[in-house]
């Protein structure tokens, strides 16, 4: 169903290039549609959002977009009115060079917080846009690479829905605990989708994918996920489309968690048997965010007591330890721990440790007999995270 191979989406062009914002890696990229697109977006809940988030929300108000322009290496956050003006100016430059309206451009910036964009460099970078945009797979891949910051690899996924093609691109490796939004992620499709369905669909999808990952509990000021539908392929089955979009969003969200700064392992955690949806999610977040759980998994240390601790620090809900079960692995191979076990020799510690050495780990916590469950993704915490972040800015 889901294909990692790049397929171009009819009617879309991309570019990704270096304009020298900080160094000589790709730092400027864009998406352009031949025709205006129905569009929807969800953005960070951080109360100090970046300037491009403010401008992007404004431009999305009428549900139409035709282009996306992104720079990495600088987030354009905490830059005041000047930052907002810079972001508007970039949209104007893109519009002028591509022959569209500035309000049809969604801007994004990602990188260091608190510095003004080098506008001279960006003005220069915009001057050749008409030649930069192209419709090949290489152009799409260059775009995916140009939005990376500490990511170690581009994140791109394509699929067919009926006659239409859907492509998703994402970036993100640190400052990741999206909340009602996500890191930078863009979906493009030539499906024809009703405008009024697009926004609620994207919100539902983001909520079960990007909003269920955490790398380091920090919520970025720039989180943005946007979908552009140019309609060229005609209508598609909406349920089928949402199913594929959700599958793709989960794939990209997992890719982000797997590529977390310094991470060596992807953790998939299911909390079930909860008495409310809130209990399931709070408990899942408490565990996936616990540095003691994350370091134990890094060291393949079967220290399941740390799960008990993390479950117990969800103060609003009590759990009966007698009901608590922890499963490592999947299917018939999974290993079970009863938290209140009498004979400690029964605990398969050596087997759990072996399982924790894999690079993808599934854990399920059963809290009791309640009907609610949640699934979240995260990663281990390693020396690599420290190294990457102790010396990042300057």
Contact 182, 64 (CB under 8 A): no
Pairing of strands 224-235, 266-274: unpaired
Query: Is 389 one of the binding residues for a copy of itself (CB under 8 A)?
Result: yes
Nearer to a copy of itself, 220 or 224 (CB): 220
Burial 215-227 (b: 16+ CB within 10 A, else e): bbeebbbbbbbbb
Query: Is 230 one of the binding residues for a copy of itself (CB under 8 A)?
Result: no
Query: Is 84 one of the binding residues for a copy of itself (CB under 8 A)?
Result: no
Residues 6 or more apart from 176 whose CB is under 8 A from it? Answer: 183, 213, 214, 215, 216, 218, 220, 256, 257, 260
Number of chain residues interacting with a copy of itself (CB under 8 A): 70
Query: Is 78 one of the binding residues for a copy of itself (CB under 8 A)?
Result: yes
By CB under 8 A, what part of segment 174-193 binds a copy of itself?
A: 174-175, 179
Measured from the CB of residue 155, what is the shortest distance to a copy of itself in angstroms?
21
- CA–CA dist 215, 178 (Å, integer): 9
* 182 assigned to active site: yes
Applying CB under 8 A, among 149, 221, 230, 373 the residue interacting with a copy of itself is 221
Applying CB under 8 A, among 2, 321, 346, 369 the residue interacting with a copy of itself is 321
Residues 6 or more apart from 163 whose CB is under 8 A from it? Answer: 233, 234, 236
Q: At what angle do helices 291-298 and 277-288 cross, to 10 degrees?
A: 60
Query: Is 322 one of the binding residues for a copy of itself (CB under 8 A)?
Result: yes
By CB under 8 A, what part of segment 286-315 binds a copy of itself?
A: 289-292, 295-296, 298-299, 301-306, 308-315
- CA–CA dist 241, 273 (Å, integer): 30
The mark string for 341-360 relative to a copy of itself (x by CB under 8 A, - otherwise) is -x-x----x---x-------
In the numeric block, which tokens belong to residue 343? 């004979």
Backbone angles phi, psi at 174, to 5 degrees: -145, 170
In the numeric block, which tokens belong to residue 92? 């104007």
Return the range that interacts with a copy of itself (CB under 8 A); candidates 18-26, 94-102, 113-121, 271-279: 113-121
By CB under 8 A, what part of segment 155-174 binds a copy of itself?
A: 174
Query: Is 87 one of the binding residues for a copy of itself (CB under 8 A)?
Result: no
Nearest to 282 by CA among 271, 296, 292: 271
Applying CB under 8 A, among 146, 219, 224, 279 the residue interacting with a copy of itself is 219
In the set 44, 79, 182, 189, the catalytic residue is 182
First to last CA, the chain: 44
Nearer to a copy of itself, 53 or 161 (CB): 53
Q: What is the DSSP string of 77-109?
A: -S-HHHHHHHHHHHHHHHHHHHTS-GGGEEEEE
Q: Which residues are catalytic?
A: 182
Residues that bind a copy of itself (CB under 8 A): 45-49, 75, 77-80, 82, 112-116, 174-175, 179, 216-221, 289-292, 295-296, 298-299, 301-306, 308-315, 317-319, 321-322, 339-340, 342, 344, 349, 353, 381-383, 385-387, 389-394
């Amino acid at each position: 169903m889901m294909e990692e191979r790049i397929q171009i989406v009819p009617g879309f062009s991309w570019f990704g290039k270096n304009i020298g914002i900080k160094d000589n890696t790709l730092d400027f990229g864009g998406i352009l549609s031949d025709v205006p697109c129905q569009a929807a977006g969800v953005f960070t809940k951080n109360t100090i959002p970046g300037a491009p988030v403010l401008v992007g929300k404004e431009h999305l108000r009428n549900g139409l977009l035709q282009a996306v322009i992104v720079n990495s290496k600088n987030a354009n956050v905490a830059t005041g009115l000047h930052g907002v003006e810079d972001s508007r100016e970039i949209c104007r430059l893109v519009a002028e060079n591509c022959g569209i309206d500035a309000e049809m451009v969604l801007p994004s910036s990602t990188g260091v917080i608190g510095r003004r964009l080098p506008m001279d460099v960006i003005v220069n970078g915009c001057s050749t846009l008409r030649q930069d945009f192209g419709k090949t797979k290489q152009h799409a891949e260059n775009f995916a690479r140009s939005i990376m910051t500490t990511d170690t690899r581009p994140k791109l996924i394509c699929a067919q829905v009926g006659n239409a093609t859907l492509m998703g691109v994402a970036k993100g490796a640190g400052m990741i605990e999206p909340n009602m939004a996500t890191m930078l992620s863009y979906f493009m499709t030539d499906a024809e989708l009703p405008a009024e369905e697009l926004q609620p669909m994207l919100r539902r999808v983001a909520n079960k994918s990007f909003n269920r990952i955490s790398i380091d509990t920090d919520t970025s000021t720039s989180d943005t996920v946007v979908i552009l539908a140019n309609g060229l392929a005609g209508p598609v089955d909406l349920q089928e489309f949402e199913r594929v979009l959700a599958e793709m969003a989960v794939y990209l969200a997992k890719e982000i968690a797997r590529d977390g700064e310094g991470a060596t392992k992807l953790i998939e955690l299911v909390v079930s048997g909860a008495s409310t949806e809130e209990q399931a999610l709070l408990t899942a977040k408490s565990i996936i965010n616990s540095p003691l759980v994350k370091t134990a998994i890094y060291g393949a240390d079967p220290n399941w007591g740390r799960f008990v601790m993390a479950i117990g620090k969800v103060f609003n809900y009590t759990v009966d330890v007698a009901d608590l079960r922890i499963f490592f692995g999947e299917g018939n191979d999974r290993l079970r721990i009863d938290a209140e076990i009498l004979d400690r020799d029964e605990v398969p510690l050596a087997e759990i440790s072996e399982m924790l050495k894999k690079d993808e780990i599934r854990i399920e916590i059963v809290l009791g007999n309640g009907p609610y469950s949640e699934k979240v993704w995260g990663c281990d915490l390693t020396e690599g995270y420290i190294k990457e972040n102790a010396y990042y800015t300057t």
